[in-house]
Structure 1
């Protein structure tokens, strides 16, 4: 039985590590992801140590593995509660003493178990009983409180996505909680003993539930930095970028001119603080179903002076072209006082229908401009900001589409991976601005060479990728050599700056995955590096 538990506990340890790493990679900048990753690390330590404790025979081995495992199980309840407080955006986290109280029991119980508890010795008396009761109470109360917070978070939320997230996490947490309580406390109270110290197995249910909620409903936010200052400047009307919670993340300079607000004053405040309209509030409640631009002919917006100003506004969802997830919403407002003054002038001076027509053309021009801006935003989302080639994510999606086409037509498809030789030396000797210039120049050259026959992208750093549909390996090899020679002939008007590249070229084998195809090209690229650089390997 001990060997079975040993194997099962090791498998559990590996699962925790995989789940933690997978979630962390989804958004490494997210505090929730970092906390969930830490929780999985602690659970993996718990499982790893217990796997060896199950097989330990000497009192020293039993004590060592027990004390190591206490790092995991003593911290589990505190980190879980802290994670839930962050996930539910609990206002009590603003107070330092609350954070202190959340993590304090973890350190206290860990200290006691490491320095005062010896599992190899059967203890009896008042002190061990008190320690056992305190440990049970700490874990029971913290985990139960976490479940309650998740329940009320979902119940109070007005957003369907958050309700689904909360329901999934709540159900998996309750199952994990009740399973652990039954195995560790309730069944032993009735004389039914199952697996001793099996909490690390029960916690797996909750962790998998949280992981699925992260993957399925993507409650990790995409940063609003995708919307550049350049684009905001181009829009001449009042403009807000609002996140999916309804908070303002960015504004343009017209805010100061028209409403009198400084941009830093409005950042992170609710859009409903200045647009107090029921229609906008209802739109934010049902924001997950916002798929197309919605226009409002007359909406009142309050200035910093308390003045109510009429605007016609458009609300445009900014949607990721690959994942189809809503990133933010773009609210553009046109000051209706101009239109109202124009209408008054029409009535006063009995303007002709021609002036009315021009007014309509002006409004139509504004609408067309909004549509053009939305097109620019969508295009920016799939382009590399420096070279303007397709970015890593988008080129991978295009590769998958090309593989589907190649499988259907049984036609040829070649792939090229290109890397600048000694690029770090360029940055170190000439500076990063020159390094950026080299990347832009190479990107332009590559694009000019394959623009009509293939697709080019920046794969990362100084590495580029080129897809060549309907071209076999020999033809792709010729194009690669042409690119390599052309790059070697580039002049940058800087002494001693000569750029060469190494290239790996391979042809797609039918039914091969995109990952395997890229790995083959990558291996050939490194072969070119190994064989002296400034060469093509196929």
Structure 2
């Protein structure tokens, strides 16, 4: 009787899908107890168990449909970072998971995104185990990239023979991988292969959207063009390999600068780079002065020769036509060079 009372108490607490199988197992345990005494309650429990198993299968189907619907609702231009975050939040929701790890690494585009609630991911390759429910899926997309997701839930319990769960895991894995691969290939197309910054084509589309937002909602943004001083001389004197090293070193500083200040940066062509931020021009001027100083200090120590940059800045409030806006920033960039280089120009 004490065992049955405990089972009844636990059964009343199992209300969510993530632990609904526990209810089934508890009823099976209760049924086994009654079967020893030939009690009529055994047959009643058998019917209840069948109903619960059917309901659980339907709930699994509902969850799959929910995941599919969410993927369909994802915008086509969602960033890889947001997509990886979406995978992590979906895993947490589906499995009431305590431990989650999602990683996308791609050396070709310079992508390395990790969302994790744990310090370390166990094992190598793919793992699927039950009680507690644990899944680790590893995909080598190609020789330059990989995608891994891991989830562990002490609440979600199923037995080893659960075809429903195996199908469920395979289905969501295919959804995750398909979306991530599509976005990854798109990201690669948007990146400059040498510096791993956004390329001119991507920055052009990004600027077009910002101009449209300005015309519709008056959303301010500023743009700067930055050019390495005497870059041709660096190439002619030290060779193109060293020249490429300088480009990569500047790109790395720009990447750090962009992340720290919410500025989108890219390579615009040759030794010229671009930065765009949804800020007023006076704020951009201060940031670019700091950037210019940092480039001079860091890169001149990194290389045996001095490396400086010139920067021209313009705001959409001065010119809302994109071609003219870039022309204005370019004009100021060359003024900075005319006045001695290694400086920032923001007026005519």
TM-score, normalised on structure 1? 0.33
Q: Which has the higher contact order (CA 8 A, sep 6+)?
A: 2
TM-score, normalised on structure 2? 0.49
Indicate the structure with greater helix content.
1
Indicate the structure with greater strand content.
2
Q: Which has the larger radius of gyration?
A: 1
